[in-house]
A and B are shown apart, each in its own frame.
Chain A
Amino acid sequence: MSSENIESIVNRCYEHGFVTDIATESLPPGLNEDVIRAISARKNEPEFMLEWRLQAYQQWLEMTEPDWAHVNYPPIDFNAISYYAAPKSDEDRPKSLDEVDPKLLETYDKLGIPLHERARLAGVAVDAVFDSVSVATTFKGKLAEAGVIFCSFSEAVHDHPELVRKYLGSVVPRRDNFYAALNSAVFSDGSFVYIPKGVRCPMELSTYFRINAANTGQFERTLIIADEGSHVSYLEGCTAPMRDENQLHAAVVELVALEGAEIKYSTVQNWYPGDENGVGGIYNFVTKRGDCRGDNSKISWTQVETGSAITWKYPSCILRGANSVGEFYSVAVANNMQQADTGTKMIHIGPNTRSTIVSKGISAGRAQNAYRGLVKVLPQAHGARNHTQCDSLLIGKECGAHTFPYMEIKNPSAKVEHEATTSKISANQLFYCRQRGISEEDAVNMIVNGFCKEVFKELPMEFAVEAQALLNVSLEGAVG
């Protein structure tokens, strides 16, 4: 097969690389207690929140950066990062989209996210995070009618402090890991969702994150609580402008599902992965965890990870309640010099808990893609079941796929299955498609989308198409 052709597809430029010129009020680089106090003060936070941050900071100081992931990068200078940036319009937050800085809207347009159109046509409530502060929130009224709270984390701290105090850090404790501690100390903003008892959230909740200020680490904090018998589907999507310096992103997402509740959390991640030599790109060190706290609860993670220079991410489920269900569906693409170490942890604590893991890793260029998964069955988890399917697709000769499955089974009645495959897009497959008139690029996209189908079908309908398109763009980096 003509390797030049494939390379040209692979090397197509990142289309979402641009910077919107909006003045930002950033803190100078560096991290100390004063910086944390300044962040908290700017957000006008209550005392408990500041205390929480300061304790996290103290804990972070005692921790060391983890080095066990299958990734390589130069040491990060945490004092060279600015820990807060907000668009100028912060003091005078827009009440509607008309009041939003047109340049901002233009940015969303470039990303193919015409916010109001999108919201209107798709019936999606969008809480868009631009840099660190939410600038547009829609459909609040409709959600309020159902009793659903969907707001920025900062707002939640003011308006629902009792919920924040009760649940913040209850799934991912401050000192859970180095980056979780850092996030707990300096988190800027994020989303807060509360679904009351028995309520089925009337629409998909969606947040678009975007990193836009140079040299600013972005530390999102998301907390979703599904009260008894409730149901919510949440989508997180990201895309970042082109950058020369690595940007650190260390988010924490906590999900709590009480008895009979169900949370579906879908992620489409398309951050700048760096150029073909690995220069620039986002470092994505994320802690995501869901707690099936009540009996018969369910948490489902679906992720399509196409961006970032380095991804370090293991959305996990703690299956505490009896009969609770955890799911993890993942497509992870690594191209050029991208490095991905991603997977999940399923911790079976309650009896008859079930988990499903479907991981599709795609490697191209010189990328390294690792699946790392833990299935842990504790002694009291009678009748626990897990099925893991872990498939790797290689494109080209210089990339790598790695699988690190860990299993700790402490209950003899548990049933745990693990299946793994590795395949390549063959020259014969491409020729076959081309002989049918389909271009090489379309053929690659078609084959890769076929490979990922099991995961895509788990995405909310309106986002499945978008995810496919995104995959194609990234597979402009994923095929060779």
Chain B
Amino acid sequence: MLEIENLHSQIGGTDILRGLSLNVNAGEVHAIMGPNGSGKSTLAQVIAGHEEYVVTDGSVTYKGADLLSLDPEERARDGIFLGFQYPVEIPGVNNAYLLKAAMNAKRKHLGLEEIDAFEFLKLAKERMAMLGMDPKFLNRGVNEGFSGGEKKRNEILQMAMLEPSLAILDETDSGLDIDALKAVAEGVNSLRTPERAIVLVTHYQRLLDYIEPDFVHVLSEGRIVRSGDKSLALELEDKGYDWVREAANG
């Protein structure tokens, strides 16, 4: 589904990704780990199409086509979802409105009719119940005054509604207490399907106790330096990131 080849990217003239390669297939869950500044979030932003991140070399192929030539909204409509590390507040725009606009943008792209209001509400309530969210959320401003946990849960709700082919969850676990973490993890797990790929970007192993990845990759200085199964995450937890850095440099 996603093939990244020798990806180089910079922001503000500083190189962040330095030759990253990664393949993700449908049905797989990949965890990208690494120390601060290793390029995890940059990778997520580049895939989503943030224009501040300039790709200087390499290629990204998604569903067999060049991804990098597409605008962020085209990528989104084509099934790429980014769960933001810091979801932004949009005062005055209610959650339901944004969600519905997003769903309809995608449906339009797929040649489907717009979802009608009743169908939308029914679906939203269903998904919110699944995530243990209060339906009142729908009528609040997008992330406006949400707690950290509410924001992250809201991201997962959007994911559940938009049903992406490829979901990248950037530090979805950061700032969550254990109950919120469990709820978010349950939400993500319920969205694991054979057709969907999920990439978890995380600093800590903790999240992986609840969402079990098929593959774990360790990022250091803009490259993947180690790949393995979930045991790699445990090893990392045990030995710390210095171990990877040394391994990479040594």
Contact = CB atoms under 8 A, between A and B. Distances in A.
Contacts of B52: 427
Interface in A2-27: 2
B195 interface: no
Contacts of A447: 90, 92-93
B51 A446 contact: no
A48 interface: no
A177 B79 CA distance: 60
A259 B75 CA distance: 61
Contact of A453 (B48, B81, B82, B92): B92
Contacts of B75: 435
Nearest to A2: B51
B146 interface: no
A2 B50 CA distance: 10
Contact of A437 (B92, B93, B105): B105
B71 interface: yes
Interface in B145-165: 158, 162
Contacts of A426: 88
B91 A451 contact: yes
A440 B105 CA distance: 12
Interface in B78-97: 81-82, 84, 87-88, 90-94, 97
A452 B101 CA distance: 18
Nearest to B108: A437
B180 to A, nearest CB: 21
A438 B88 contact: no
A435 B72 contact: yes
Contact of A432 (B77, B87, B92, B106): B87
A220 B88 CA distance: 46
Contact of B72 (A428, A434, A451): A434
A79 interface: no
B73 interface: yes
Nearest to A452: B92
A438 B73 contact: yes
Nearest 7 CB-CB pairings of A with B:
A450-B92, A450-B93, A436-B102, A437-B105, A437-B76, A434-B72, A437-B77
A442 B101 contact: yes
Contacts of A423: 91
A432 B84 contact: yes
Nearest to B83: A435
30 contacts: A1-B51, A2-B51, A427-B52, A428-B88, A429-B90, A431-B50, A431-B51, A431-B72, A432-B88, A434-B72, A434-B73, A435-B76, A435-B82, A436-B76, A436-B105, A436-B158, A437-B76, A437-B77, A437-B102, A437-B106, A437-B109, A437-B162, A438-B73, A438-B105, A446-B97, A449-B92, A450-B91, A450-B141, A451-B91, A454-B92
Interface string A397-428: 00000000000000000000000000100111
- The winner among B71, B87, B158 for most chain A CB atoms within 10 A is B71
Nearest to B93: A450
Nearest to B144: A450
Nearest to B82: A435
Interface in B50-85: 50-52, 71-73, 75-77, 81-82, 84
B98 interface: yes
Contacts of A442: 101, 105
A170 interface: no
Contacts of B109: 437
A439 interface: yes
A35 interface: no
Contact of A439 (B51, B90, B94, B105): B105
A432 B72 CA distance: 9
A164 interface: no
A426 B50 CA distance: 13
Given A1-B51, A431-B50, A446-B97, A439 B73 contact: yes
A433 interface: yes
Nearest to B84: A432
A1 B162 CA distance: 24
Contacts of A439: 73, 105
A436 B98 contact: yes
A426 B82 CA distance: 18
Interface string B179-204: 00000000000000000000000000
Interface string B25-49: 0000000000000000000000011
